[in-house]
Amino acid sequence: MATLVLIPGMNPQASKGIFDAIRTDLPKAKFIELTVASEEQLMEKKPDGEFILVGKSMGGKVALEHQLKHKDAAALVLLAPAVEADEKFRKIKVPTLIVHGTADPVIPIDNSRKMNKIIASSKLIEIKDADHSYRGKEAETVKAVAEFINCLK
């Protein structure tokens, strides 16, 4: 299994709950967790072998921009990505899962719906009534992430 590189949002503590749930649901996976949403830290810590970028909020922006520039991730998982849907993301060719809560007050879900149309290799999962941190919806969110990652094998 590819190493999962976890990229938090602007408030890394807000990503902790969902990242802990992902770790629990994928016990055989290797993880590298960044402390900030930064391309610089990603370049320092990314593994030599196959890896999947998992970006939460602003971490989703870092994952997308990194993949555009380096094209080295095996897949992307974007959790409520804090990036405007842009045509440049058509160049993303790896399998991409976008997960967004329908009750997210921080990043409008319409942005992820647009992103899903732009990235041909993407799949959008909408988590009903989930907020930006997926509070109370962690199990449903992680199930979608785990199924996607397990299908990549």
51 to 30, 142, 143: CA distances (angstroms): 9, 18, 19
* Residue 135 token pair: 């509070």
Does residue 146 carry a pLDDT above 90? Answer: yes
Q: What is the pLDDT of residue 1?
A: 79
Binned at pLDDT 50, 70 and 90, residue 9 comes out as: very high
**In this predicted model, what pLDDT tens digit does every residue of 23-80 receive, in sequence order?**
999 989 999 999 999 999 999 999 999 999 999 999 999 999 999 999 999 999 999 9
Asked if residue 59 lies in contact with residue 77, where contact means CB atoms within 8 angstroms, the answer is no
- pLDDT tops 80 at residue 115: yes
| Helix residue ranges, H only, the chain | 12-25, 39-45, 58-70, 109-118, 138-151
**For the sheet containing 51-56, what is the strand order?**
31-33, 3-7, 51-56, 75-79, 96-101, 122-127
Architecture in CATH for domain 3-151:
3-Layer(aba) Sandwich (3.40)
Q: How confident is the model at residue 153, as a pLDDT? A: 66
Alpha carbon distance 88, 65 (integer Å): 10
Q: Where are the domains of the chain?
A: 3-151
> Residues 112-124: what's their mean pLDDT?
98
| CA 36 – CA 39 distance, rounded (Å) | 9
Residue 122 has pLDDT above 90, yes or no: yes
